[in-house]
Amino acid sequence: MSIPDRLLNIPRPVIFILIGLAVFVPLLFKFLLPLKVLKPVKDVYDFIESLPEGTPVILSFDYSPDVLPECYPMSLALAKHLARKKLRIYIMTLYPAGAGFALDVYNKILKEFNLVERKDIVFVGYFPSIAATILGIGEDIRNVFKTDYFGVPFDEIEAFRDVKNYEDIKLVITISGAAIPESWMVYANGRYGANVAAGVTAVMAAQLYPYYRSKQFIGLIGGMRGAAEYEKLLNAHNLATKGMNSISLANFVMVLLVILGNISFFIKRRRKR
Amino acid sequence: MKKEIPIFIVFFIGTIGFLQYFFIGPISKSVYTLLLEWFQGVQGMAIVMAVISLTKRHLHNLKRKKDTFYSLVTLSSLYGMIILGVFFGIEKGSTFDKIYEYVMVPLNATTFSLLAFYMASASYRAFRARNLESTLLLLSAFILMIGFTSFGDMISDKLPSFAQWILDVPNLAAQRGITLGVALGVLATSLKIMLGIERSWLE
């Protein structure tokens, strides 16, 4: 078998091993690769920075475990930023499997920032109807957040005091690997003029850029890179920065493989002619 | 009447839902709030219906001894989690939470992560610069794949910005076209359903 033939037929297990190593090896070492913060991510950060202390903000975990590696690091980074800024955080989810992550992040920042439960932060749980929930918040949160996740009634939750709808809730952040940010954009921003920011998987980001450009999203955090950029802005390098090293190397290996495949393809084609 | 009544309900609710966008006032608002409450109720019932439907489907499989093992796993997982959640709590550290964290999360994430390996293999085999269109696709893929990684920043600090430009301009143009097409399609289909022209949802 000639060299171009061999390069055109690298066995699948070899490719799997190469990608596996590219993902795994960077996780063993602690190093920082350069990373430029792009405008869509900076816009989210700047908007949060501009909010005064105590402003109510919704952080919605609209994803399931399949997109955990991309969405969880940005969830944590955003939650930490909100807590650091001492905003009033309402954590919720419109995805049945999202409640677990939401609870996890809720417990983590509660502990790390010494927040007061139901005063500085409240976890309202999962809501089954996406459109009705988003629209309902636009009318009166009392009709939607009847209790928190642990069953404490609305009136006993200090974090809800003097808050009615999106006029009081100055920012909605949705983190998702599906089309839920579009629902937030259509119903919360379109109908009620709410400020919506989205943290999404890299695949979804391409789909949502038009809405960011038309200012229907105030900012966009796309994939692991977006999360790593956010961690850089916070100066708190964590899961996303580590993951970004792996993704960088894995992408590099993929590009090399495709280049190798193409070189062999051209050599073979020329020989045939 | 079996078809006429549902079509009438769809037409009536659809028309109200559409019109209330254009009329601002206390009546419009109260109708809208009422619809929202119903909407939540209907969505809640949809989940109950889904559980019933799934149960019926798998009980049917068990009776016919078809894919017995998979049906048993599905039913025991579904009702096991419901029982654990309802009777033993869902707070951090509960059995429900542990199963979620240590079984569901790793399984789900692992399945999705496998995609990276198959994508790498498929790209290597299928991504060929055969003609102008595929070459353009290949080039933009390279710029995005490298530009959005740290290697892009190492090569030139302009590469990430150029990758962002590809997303912001050519991608945006294509996405807007697709979105407009989809929106018009949704509008046409909604009208067809409301007017009873499209009736496949009744079957």
Whether ipTM > 0.95 holds is no
| Angstrom distance (rounded) from CA B95 to CA B92 | 9
SS (H, E, C) A226-263: HHHHHHHHHCCCCHHHHHHHHHHHHHHHHHHHHHHHHH
Does the pLDDT of residue B62 top 80, yes or no? yes
| Angstrom distance (rounded) from CA A78 to CA A173 | 9
The residue type found at B60 is: H
Question: Most B CBs within 10 Å: which of A255, A260, A272, as the mutation test of the B interface?
Answer: A255
Question: What mean pLDDT do residues B105-133 have?
Answer: 87
Pairs across A and B, CB distance < 8 A: 158
Do the Cβ atoms of A234 and A77 come closer than 8 Å? yes
- A263-272, B48-57, B107-116: which is most confident: B48-57
Percent of chain B with pLDDT over 70: 100
Contacts of A15 in chain B (CB under 8 A): 117, 120-121, 124
Q: pTM for this structure?
A: 0.84
Residue B44 and residue A129: Cβ atoms within 8 Å? yes
| Angstrom distance (rounded) from CA B62 to CA B65 | 5
Which pLDDT value is given to residue A238? 84
Which pLDDT value is given to residue A178? 86
Q: Where are the alpha helices (DSSP H) in chain A?
A: 3-8, 12-28, 39-50, 68-84, 99-112, 130-139, 180-183, 192, 202-213, 223-234, 239-272
CA distance A52 to chain B (A): 31
Residue A34 and residue B150: Cβ atoms within 8 Å? yes
Residue A88: phi, psi to the nearest 5? -90, 115
CA distance A57 to chain B (A): 22
Which pLDDT value is given to residue A230? 95
| Angstrom distance (rounded) from CA A222 to CA A229 | 10
Measure the CA angle with vertex A104, ends A101 and A106; round to 5°: 105
- Residue A35 in contact with partner chain B when CB distance is under 8 A: yes
CA distance B30 to chain A (A): 10
CA distance B65 to chain A (A): 31
Which pLDDT value is given to residue B31? 83
Tell me the per-residue pLDDT of B150-203, one tens digit each, with 9 for 90 and over: 888 888 888 888 988 888 888 889 988 998 999 999 999 999 999 989 888 887
Does the pLDDT of residue B146 top 80, yes or no? yes
Residue A245 and residue B123: Cβ atoms within 8 Å? no
Which pLDDT value is given to residue B36? 79
Residue A248 and residue B116: Cβ atoms within 8 Å? no
Residue A10 and residue B153: Cβ atoms within 8 Å? no
Tell me the per-residue pLDDT of A11-22, one tens digit each, with 9 for 90 and over: 889 999 999 999
Residue B108 and residue A68: Cβ atoms within 8 Å? yes
Give the three-state DSSP class for A91.
strand
Which pLDDT value is given to residue A218? 96
Residue A252 and residue B149: Cβ atoms within 8 Å? yes
Which pLDDT value is given to residue A265? 85
| Angstrom distance (rounded) from CA B75 to CA B53 | 12
**Positions of chain A with pLDDT under 50:** none
Residue B100 and residue A143: Cβ atoms within 8 Å? no
Of residues B41 and B193, which shows the higher confidence score? B193
Contacts of A209 in chain B (CB under 8 A): 167-168, 171-172, 175
